[in-house]
Every structure is written in C-alpha cells, then in structure tokens.
Structure 1
Amino acid sequence: MILLGITSSSRGMEFSISNLFVNINVFNGLLGQSFKMEPTPTTIRMFLYLLLFIQGTIFNTAFVTYLQTLKATPTLKNPILTLDDMREANLKFALIKEEEDLIKTQYLLSGYETVCQSMEADEFYHRRNGFDTQYAYTVPSDRWNVYKEQQRYFLKPKFRMTGICFAKMVGVTIPLQLNSPYKNAIDAMIGRLNEGGIIEYWKSLAFWEAVKKKEMSLIDTSQRFTFVPMKLEDMRLLWLLFGYMLSLMGLCFVFEIFWYYKGLRLCW
C-alpha cells in the first residue's frame, strides 16, 4: 500500500493518507477481485500489480482449501487436561471399585468424585478394551502403548493419553530383599537393557502377542464419515431464496416505475 501511494504521488496524482494505509485496490487484489489499473503503469507499479495477482491467488487457494477442510471434517474440541475440563465437557472417567477404595484411603487425588463412575472390573475392562467412548478410563503407561499401537490401524484414533495421573509407579522393578548383594548388579543390567532399547522392543511385541492370543482385535470401531453427493433437491432452499429475491427485485422495480410516473403527473 505504501509503495502504491508513493508511486502515485510521484506521477502527480492526488496524495491521500487514507489511501496510503487503506487502499481499496490492494484489498480487491488480495481477495481475487478486479480493481482499477492505470492504462500505462510504470515498471514498479506493474511489478506491484503482479505481486497482488500472485498473492491474491495464493490467499484464495489457501482460504478455499481451509474451508473445504472444515466442511469435510468437524473442528476439534478443546483438549481435556484437568478434571475441571472433564466437568465442563460433562465427561466422567470409569474406575474399578477396588482402585477407588485405594484412592480414597491414600488421598491420591482430591475432587474427583463428581467426575468418577465406579464399576466392577469385568465391566471396566470390557468397556476399555472395546473403546467405549461413553467414559474416559484409567490405564497404565505400558498398557496404553498397546492401545496406541492398536489405534494405528483405525481410521481415526478414539482415545489419547492425558497428563492426569493418580499415582506414579516404577516401570520395571524386581523385588529383592533388604540390602541384597544383587541390587547393584540388577540395576546395572536394567540400565543396559534400557540403553540398548531391549525393554522398548519387548513392549512393542506385547501388542502382537496379544493379537496372536486373540486378546485384542484389529477391527476398526471408529466412526466412519460417509460423503453423499449433492443432489438437485439439496439446492431447493437456495432456489427458493433466489426466487424470493427476484420477486422482491421485481416489486421494487415496479414501485420505482410507479413512483417515477407519479412524480411526472405531479409536475404537470
């Protein structure tokens, strides 16, 4: 805009501060609309016109693509990071009754009662393994890796891990006696296994072992969005609105003619 204003003033045109910062021709070019050009522009103004054309093409292409994305897939909701977010989303998390008793006795998390739904262990595991989206579920980190691997074969993941944690536990431990002479050797062995990636490899095999044992399934339970081609009946509302506007325009035109001839009669 500033370059257009400077080049306009250099050619003897009327200089305006408003056109320097708010130039309607620039906005029209960015929106892909037509705008007035000089019959014999200078080289720099031709370059500016070319930049406006390229920028308008890029802007409109990106905008149309963005709108098509919103039309094809719904916008994402705010992520649930705290218990307050769960209350606002009107979502509860399922919990086994025995685990709820443990949480109550050890005060692991306060204020969870309003968003918690306790149930029996069989029902809990059945819902969680079936990816029932009615509730959120507590899950250990190692077990979540299995669910995460399973959801890779879904059309769209149904669950994700949050940072809400009841209790942090040690990942890999071996029970030993107090002051055991093997403690240092076992700690060194576990450290070497972690450094070599052996434990992560074992965790990755857990999913396929569960599939082989038929404890987990690769059946996609995510919701599938089907696209229906547009039909002529879908444009019915638009055609009715278009006909209504044409009728209104016709009435306005007849009223203008009537008013015009009425004014001529009054003049006579």
Structure 2
Amino acid sequence: MCYQLIRVLCFVSSWRLGVINANFQYNLEHFPVLQNETANFSRGISDLIERIQTERAFVSYFLLRKHPADCVDEQLPTNFGLPFMQLNESERSYVRGTGSSFLLAILCLRQLNDKDFMLKFSADLQHIRTRRILVIHNKNLAQSTHSEIETFFRNCMQVKFLHVILVHRDFAETNIFHSFNQFPDLQVETRDLRATTPIYPNRLADVAKKKLRVLVDQIEPITMLYEIGDKLILEGYIGYFVKTFALRYNFVLWLPDEYESSIKRVISIEEIRQAARNDSIDLGASLSTPQKQENLHEYIYPVEFFQWLTMLPVEPHMETYYFFISIFTPTTLVGIFVITWCLCVVYVVQLKLKCQTLRWNRQFLLLVLMPWHLDLLRGLLNQSTDMRLNSATRRIIFILVFALGGALNNFFSTKMVNWLTLPPQKKPIKSFEDVTERNLQIQIAEPDIAEIKFYRGEQFWKKHAHSFKVVCRYDEFLGNIRNMDTRYGYLIDTLTWPIIAQRQMYFKHPLFRLSESLYYTKGSLLSLPISENSMYKDLLSEFVMRSRESGLLGYWYSRTFYTMVSIGRFNFTDLSTNQIHEMLTLKEFEWVWIAYAVGVGFSGLVFILECIWYYKV
C-alpha cells in the first residue's frame, strides 16, 4: 500500500511540474512580444516629443499617473532628457511654483472617463492650463469609442485646457492621435503624426466667431454703453481696446443674458470680479487695481499707472475792496508812518535850530510827538508848496519826502492797473484742513470709501470724514462731475482729469483745477479683471503691450473725449460765468471808511487828552 501511495504522489508531482512548465513556456513565448510593444511605444513617444520640442521649446516635464503601468512603459520617465516632476494620485503640488512653467505636461490614464483624476491634474496645473498637454491612454485605439474620446475632450474644455493631444497604447503602429478645437464649438480631430501640420496649432489665431462674454462697468471715460435701435454700442477708452481685441482674433462680443439690466447702470468692480470668478463672463471691461487683491492671477498685464487726487474749484477772484487791504498792509502803513515821522522831526529840529528857539521843554516834547508840517506833507502827494527851501537840509528833506510820495503813487497806480486787468485769487487750498476752513466738501461715491481707507488708512478717513460728501450711487456721482458744480470738490483719478481739462478749454475760464497736494494714492496700477485660469489671459496681456507700444492706447484715449460729446455725455456749452469789473462802489471803500473812522476816533481821543492836560496840568 505504501508503494501505491508513493506512485500517486509521484504522478501528482509530475503533473504539477508539467503545468508549471507549460505556463512558464507560455510566458516566455509572450514576453518578447510585450517587450517589443513597450519599446515601440517608447520610440513612438520619443519621436512625438522631439517633434513637439522643435515646434516650440520647453525646458521640463510634468508627469501625473496613478500607476507606473498606466504610461505603457513603466520606465518612461527615464527616457526624458530634461528635468521632470512626477506625481502620483495621492500627491498634490502647485506646479507653477516649483520651477519653470515652460513645460510639457503628461497625463497617463487607464480610463478616459476618469473625470476626478482629470480634475486633480487640472488643479496641479493651476495658472498654467494653457500649456501643452500630452495624454497617454493605456488602451489600443480600436478599444476607444468616439463618444468616449469626445467626452474626454469635453472634460478638458470644462477645466479650461487649450492644447491637448491624446495618444493610445498602439500609437507607434498607427501614428494616429486625437486633438480638439473648441472654437466656436467642440470639434474632435483625428490626426496622423506623419502629416506636416503642427502638433499643437495656434487655436487662438482665429476663434471663428466665438462669443467673448463681457461685462461693462460704464465708468467714464473707461467704458460706456449706448443703444442704437436694438444694438448695443461699446465706447470709451477700454471699450475701444476690447472691440479691437475681438476684431483681431475674430471674437463676437456678448453680454450675458443675466446682465442685460446692467446697460442702464454703473457696475461695481466687485460685481465684475465675482462674475469672472464664477465663470459667468470671460472678461471685465473695467479697470481696477490688482494691488488691493491677494490673487494677482485674476488680472491681465497692467494697462495703466494712475493717481487718485482731488478736483477742486478754482479759487474765486478777490473783491476789489480787498485791494486796499493787500496794498496797505499794517507793515506798510507802519513803515510809511515811521519814515514820514522821522523826516518831520528832523525838519522841526532843523527849523528850531535855525531860529535859535530850541528849548527842551514841554512844548518841544509835544512838537516831537506831533511834528506834522502840512506844507511838507504835501510832498507825499507830489503837490506844490510855498516852503522856503533856503537851506541844504530843508532841500534834502523835501526831496526825500517828494521821492517817497512819488514812489507811493507809482506803486499804487501800478497795483491798481494790475488788479483791474487780472484780479488775484484767494489763497489756494493746499491741505484737507484748508478744505474744512473754506467750508468746502469733496464729493465721493460710497464704494470709493473702501479705496481711500486702503490707500490712506482708517485713521485718515476718521480724521477727515467730515470734509467729504458721500454720494450713494456711482451714476449720481458721475452726473455731478459732468454738471461741474463749483460748490464741491470731487475725488478724481488721472485718467478722468484730462477729459475734464479738455472740456474746460472751451470755457472762457476754467472752473476746476487738479490738486496734487490733496491725494489718496501717489501711484497705483490698473488692469482688466479676468477669470483665474482664463485661456485668453496671455493673449490679452500681449495685446495690451502691443497696443501701448504702437500708440493705439494713446489714440483711443484722445478719441474718447469726442465720443463722449457725440453720445451726449456732455457738450461744449460754456458753464463758466463772465466776471465784469464794475466801477468802484461805496462797499469797495469799506475798509477805507473803517480806517478813516478809526483815525477820527483816535484824533478825538487825543483832543480830549489835550484838554485834560491843559486844564489840569
């Protein structure tokens, strides 16, 4: 029985070894096939990447895969001749921040409908989603249906990929790859590597009437909308920029239906930025500063450098009666009095010495205090006199008095002529404290309060809030600027002021001036808001630089003034008032009468004191 058991065990062992040997032979037979397929795929991918490099160079790779086998060749990264970054499914990275963003992104997929993995890949490519992408599908071409490929490319559109090609496991044998064009709508393309056309054509060269969704702020002179029949016309400085950009790349400007009501009102920058964030629009036709925001990727290349200043009413001309105050200032009057008194005293002393009647008594003291000689004082008015100039001292004194009177008369006449020809203005406002002293207020729109606090700080606003008149609606604020009410000053930027200044050139005299001393920011950047991963961002930034370089931005700005006139935003009506210089009136001698009254009162007081002195002493 033991012998039979041994025979059974030997038979089973022999059969098991035979099966194992058969399986081993089977694997050995297919191993060269798998090895050849992997090697062929690697060579095909190398040829493809080499051609991509010749079309437009890149300096590194980014590879994402779940499993090494998803890339067909598990050793595929070792074939790269440039630096590469490799991530697995569980790892996350902000690829743009790890090095150069001029890269070729490679995604290895086992299933084309794996949308979650696609979203993870797009998150890694934050802010560089327009870079070229190579997707490797670990299945043969025949195993992928057209609907699967179309769904895959629709997912690419949703995450804002622009340049994507799809290759399969048998790419080396078929030389077939897929790409897509989303302009104006999704078109899946089946292409052959052996063709001479570019692997990644410039999809934005002509977008074939693709809708460019735009939201307009309607802040003058940046953008303005007006209706002609059933058509909306976009005008303004940035409006021309947006229209020219759309014309250059064959876009169709489109205002989304949910914003149709915006054509009658000003749109705040916060509303525009929110619309760009939730992908309701492609571009905000507005200018705002990126410096206030944490995410600079929501703006294109800066368009303008600007300052926020104050537009103040031109100081009014001084009334004519102020002439006497400005000419005969207290210092001037005291100087004339002292000089005349000294000359009169010298004259009196010389006269006493000549007559040998000089006595150091009370009479001489009163004579020194009141030395006025009427014949001598006539010289101040350049009048004739019957004084006896029989001594050299008297002649010198009279010549000095006469010269002083001539100089005073000439000075007075010259100042009077200059005053009547070009009346001087009041002292200009140079600080926010001066605004308060003049009982003037500066109008601002309520949304701009946050801007002032951002640039000048909370303490500045708390200190000077009483100097501002807050207007709730921006439309009303713009209307007040157009009306040019001189009872107020206005917060204004250096983009709007040249339009105001050009309008005032048609006035007889300007109503407002720009005050650089009352500022809110010495300088800041302005740019157009856009969605964070917009595929048009680089295109718009390049167009801004080319427009600035060619002088188009300057031309569009200069054209805006006449556009505003043509669409009725304002006209050439002279809002200034004529200032007619009338003849001198009694009111204009007000200060003269006051001075005369003071003199009469002082002389009466002296008379009373003299009487008291005479009768008491």
Q: Does residue 444 of structure 2 align to residue 67 of structure 1?
A: no
Question: Given the alignment, which residue of 391, 396, 400 partners 1:23?
Answer: 400
Instruction: State percent identity of aligned pairs.
Output: 20
1:175-230 CA-partner distances (Å, limit 9, x unpaired): 6779x76698567536534xx5x544432221111111111111111122245578
Structure 1, unaligned runs of 5 or more: 1-12, 33-59, 242-268
Counting only pairs closer than 5 Å after superposition, residues 116-131 of structure 1 correspond to structure 2 as 116-121=468-473, 122-131=475-484
Q: Is 1:93 the counterpart of 2:448 in the alignment?
A: no
Q: Distance in 1 between matches of 2:407 and 2:452?
A: 59
The one of 127, 147, 150 equivalent to 2:500 is 147
> In the alignment, residue 447 of structure 2 is paired with which amino acid?
E
- Indicate which of 220, 238, 247 corresponds to 2:574: 220
Compute the TM-score of the two structures, normalised by the length of structure 2: 0.26
Give structure 2 stretches of 5+ with no counterpart: 1-389, 594-617
For residues 447 and 430 of structure 2, what CA distance do their matches in structure 1 show? 25
2:467 aligned to which of 115, 124, 147: 115
How do residues 1-268 of structure 1 correspond to structure 2 at under 5 angstroms? Answer: 19=396, 23-28=400-405, 30=407, 60=410, 64-71=413-420, 74-104=423-453, 107=457, 109-110=460-461, 111-121=463-473, 122-163=475-516, 164-167=518-521, 168-170=523-525, 173=527, 189=546, 192-193=549-550, 198-226=552-580
* Structure with bigger gyration radius: 2
1:115 maps to amino acid: S
Aligned-residue Cα RMSD (Å) equals: 4.0
SS of corresponding position for 2:425: coil
Deviation at 1:84, TM superposition (A): 1.0
Distance 1:104 1:115 in 2: 15
Structure with the larger RCO, 1 or 2 (CA within 8 Å, 6+ apart) = 2
1:216 is paired with a residue of what secondary structure?
coil
Q: Which amino acid aligns with 2:524?
A: M
- Looking at structure 2, the residues matched to 119 and 184 of structure 1 have their Cα atoms a distance apart, in angstroms, of 35
For the residue of structure 1 that corresponds to 2:495, the secondary structure is helix
Instruction: Name the structure where helix makes up a greater proportion of residues.
Output: 1
Give the count of matched residue pairs: 187
Q: Indicate how the Cα distance of structure 1 residues 213 and 100 shifts in structure 2: closer, same or farther if over 3 A, else same.
A: same
Residues 86/215 of structure 1: CA separation in 2 closer, same or farther (3 Å cut): same
Distance 1:80 1:157 in 2: 16
| Structure-2 separation of matches of 1:132 and 1:184 | 39
Separation in 2 of the partners of 1:175 and 1:96?
A: 21
AA of the residue aligned to 1:170: L
